């Protein structure tokens, strides 16, 4: 069945799931399955999900196959927050739980051997080599919670090999968030201390005491995150263009970058 027909069939018989930007409105629950657009990286992602589940990590959806240009995954019941983020999703305990889940995922990826014809999505990938497979997009909308505990990660479209600290920096950037108070408030997050929250994420992950690499990775993350969105806007992606405009365009990303660099020492002091 062609991709557009499969998507229409899912939308006609399923429940559209909230969250996401690129796939907004295209991720659907049909019975006990989640169905979403597949891409050229999906076979590799499904192989990865099989591997980590076989390693004893159940915090990812069970892959059920690829059909008609759609991914089929076992639906995971729970709470998935999306903007404006509710108060419960902003607690330090929730952040620490999310970081701990990422640690378990990283540990489970050890030993994964990608299929011979596998291709990784490099759009958000670590520019340096690492020993784990990174998720690269752990934002609140890509985590399932139950009673405030993070139980599963979703959406592995940007998964790729990299360093633990790079992926943890991505999580902190989006979940702490590492942002100006003005821009954090745009998603309903008010009164959160980014310096303390970075330490909460590092402690939750169990990162060793020497955490300078985490702050360096954050600097790379902040530059790369803005550049990624700008590339999507320049390519004419309507969803990213809408977000770009709502968030204040290039000025918003330049403001965050300048703010972070001005406060780099305070971040180092907070996590060390």
Domain harbouring 69, CATH code: 3.30.200
> Within 13 Å and on the Cβ side, how many CA atoms surround 198?
27
β pairing state of 149-153 and 143-146: antiparallel
Beta bridge partners of 72: 35, 65
| Residue 82 is assigned to a structural domain of this protein | no
Only one residue has tokens 């902003």, namely 90
User: pLDDT tens digits, residue range 4-59?
Assistant: 566 566 666 679 987 667 677 789 999 999 999 999 999 999 999 999 999 999 99
pLDDT at 187: 94
User: What does the pLDDT average to over 176-186?
Assistant: 96
User: And the tokens for 245?
Assistant: 């405009």
The domain boundary residue, chosen from 24, 46, 74: 74
pLDDT at 2: 43
Q: Is the domain of 237 the same as that of 112?
A: yes
Residues 176/101, Cβ–Cβ less than 8 Å:
no
Q: What is the mean pLDDT of the chain?
A: 93
User: And the tokens for 32?
Assistant: 């006990």
Q: Is the domain of 131 the same as that of 109?
A: yes
């Amino acid at each position: 069945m062609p991709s557009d027909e499969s998507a229409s069939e899912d939308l006609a018989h399923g429940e559209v799931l909230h969250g996401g930007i690129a796939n907004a409105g295209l991720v659907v629950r049909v019975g006990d399955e989640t169905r979403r657009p597949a891409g050229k990286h999906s076979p590799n992602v499904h192989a990865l999900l099989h591997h980590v589940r076989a390693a004893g990590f159940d915090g990812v959806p069970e892959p059920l196959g690829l059909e008609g240009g759609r991914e089929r995954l076992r639906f995971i019941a729970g709470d998935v927050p999306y903007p404006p983020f509710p108060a419960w999703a902003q607690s330090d305990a929730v952040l620490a739980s999310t970081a701990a889940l990422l640690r378990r995922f990283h540990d489970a990826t050890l030993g994964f051997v990608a299929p011979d014809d596998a291709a990784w999505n490099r759009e958000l990938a670590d520019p340096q080599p690492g020993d784990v497979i990174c998720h690269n997009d752990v934002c609140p909308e890509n985590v399932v919670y139950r009673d405030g505990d993070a139980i599963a990660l979703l959406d592995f479209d940007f998964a790729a090999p990299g360093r633990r600290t790079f992926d943890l920096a991505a999580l902190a950037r989006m979940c702490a968030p590492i942002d100006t108070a003005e821009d954090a408030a745009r998603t309903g997050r008010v009164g959160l201390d980014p310096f303390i929250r970075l330490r909460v994420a590092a402690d939750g992950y169990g990162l060793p005491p020497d955490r300078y690499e985490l702050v360096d990775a954050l600097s790379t993350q902040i530059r790369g995150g803005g550049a990624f969105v700008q590339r999507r806007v320049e390519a004419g992606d309507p969803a990213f263009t809408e977000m770009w405009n709502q968030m204040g365009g290039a000025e918003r990303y330049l403001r965050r970058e300048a703010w972070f660099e001005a406060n780099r020492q305070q971040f180092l002091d907070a996590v060390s």
